[in-house]
Amino acid sequence: MIFASFLKAIAQLPDQRFRSVLWRGIGLTIALLVAIYAGLLWLIEWLTAEPITLPGVGEVTWLGDLLGWGSLGLVIVMSIFLMVPVASAITSLFLDEVAQAVEDKHFPGLPDIPHVSFWDGLRDTVNFLGVLVAANIFAFILYAIFPFAAIFIFYALNGYLLGREYFQLAAMRRIGRAAAKNLRKQHSAKIWLAGCLMAVPLTFPLINLIIPILGAATFTHLYHAVSRG
């Protein structure tokens, strides 16, 4: 069931709606990182508008340049560690389109779903991003304590997070938030294993950017499979 759902999702990756969601997610993520860098430059310029004088050194004129280059390095490091979770979270705003594309192709004739407002989608996205970032920061501590088990911790943790998020997304479109949560608990082991499968490509640069789309599509198939018994 899990691999069948995964393979069907892969087969549909060329779908125009899938690609549209992917490019919007990447574009908005890059725009966000650029905006963060611009904000840091503005803050540095404001802080260094007046020359700083240090005892025994005199007037320091190079501090602004140092902070400017330092902020560029900071943004680059941030992009390495946060590109995937931020892109995933932003792309999650549009994953309803991915689920709808899957249902249009593989489950025709389903009744229309209630419209989800932008703000409800944004709330879920922010919550997911917060949990994802906090969990992975905590995971860094575990990596340091148990370096020999780091790869297993990574897959187990992100498998849980991805499975939880994407199954909930697929299920609550059809049965609501509370019923989706109950169904997820009933099939928690299967959902966790499917999440671990989604977590494997996270370790491959660029490929990891399609995980939100692949996850939404896979768990849409998985939801319909388990809901039909």
**Structural domain span for residue 37:** 2-227
pLDDT value for 18:
87
- DSSP structural state of residue 50: S
Q: Are 192 and 159 in contact (CB under 8 A)?
A: yes
Pick the residue with more confidence: 18 or 118? 18
Domain count along the chain: 1
Pick the residue with more confidence: 212 or 79? 212
pLDDT value for 71:
59
User: Predicted confidence band at 102 (pLDDT cuts at 50, 70, 90)?
Assistant: very high
Q: Are 26 and 214 in contact (CB under 8 A)?
A: no
- Distances in Å between the Cα of 50 and the Cα atoms of 44, 45, 80, 96 are 11, 9, 33, 50
Q: Are 198 and 216 in contact (CB under 8 A)?
A: no
Q: Cβ–Cβ contacts within 10 Å for residue 25, how many? A: 24
Reply yes or no on whether the pLDDT at 84 is more than 90: no
What mean pLDDT is predicted for residues 177-192?
A: 90
User: Predicted confidence band at 197 (pLDDT cuts at 50, 70, 90)?
Assistant: confident
What mean pLDDT is predicted for residues 197-215?
A: 78
DSSP letters for 105-141 = HHSTTPPPPPPPPHHHHHHHHHHHHHHHHHHHHHHHH
Task: Please tell me the pTM assigned to this model.
Answer: 0.72
